[in-house]
Amino acid sequence: MANKITLNLISGRTIQQGVAIEGGKEKPLYRTAAGIIEMDHQDFKKLGAWKNSNVRVSSEFGSVIVKAIETTQGPHPGLGFIPMGPWANSVISDNTYSTGMPTFKGVPVTVEVALNEPILLGIELVQKQCGVKVG
């Protein structure tokens, strides 16, 4: 069951993410809106995963646990979409090619099922990766 698929990852705005950042990035709603990866039906099949299960998304730049959901704006086989935010930014490419702009779109990632691993809240995720001591 150690299935792993490769996707081309893009990130971007969704209206749910927009509402969530204004509603409070410390709230679970932010995780619901942006701690997800939207995947195509076909890619779910390849991965052999149920919809709405936790997955680990990894790239050469990092790794993050998010919930895999069926795409809301598809079909787009081979393409993964994580709404903009700390979950996406844990794995996107920081290479700016001297433009100042990281490569937020078009990053090869692998996706594997990680049923029992927790999806962190937005602020928590960043603090943990930065090693911030929280009292």
Where do contacts with another protein occur on this chain (CB under 8 A)?
A: 8, 10, 12-15, 18-19, 21-26, 61-62, 71, 73-76, 79, 81, 84-86, 89-90, 92-94, 96-106, 122-127, 129-135
Comparison of 12 and 48: residue with beta carbon closer to another protein? 12
Minimum CB separation from another protein for residue 65, in Å?
14
Minimum CB separation from another protein for residue 39, in Å?
12
Minimum CB separation from another protein for residue 2, in Å?
26
User: Rounded to 10 degrees, what is the CA torsion of 15, 8, 63, 86?
Assistant: -20
Minimum CB separation from another protein for residue 100, in Å?
3
CB neighbours of residue 59 within 10 Å: 16
The Cα–Cα gap between 105 and 68 comes to 18
* Neighbour-count burial of 97, counting CB atoms closer than 10 A to its CB (0-12 exposed, 13-18 middle, 19+ buried): exposed
Gyration radius of the chain's alpha carbons: 14
Comparison of 103 and 110: residue with beta carbon closer to another protein? 103
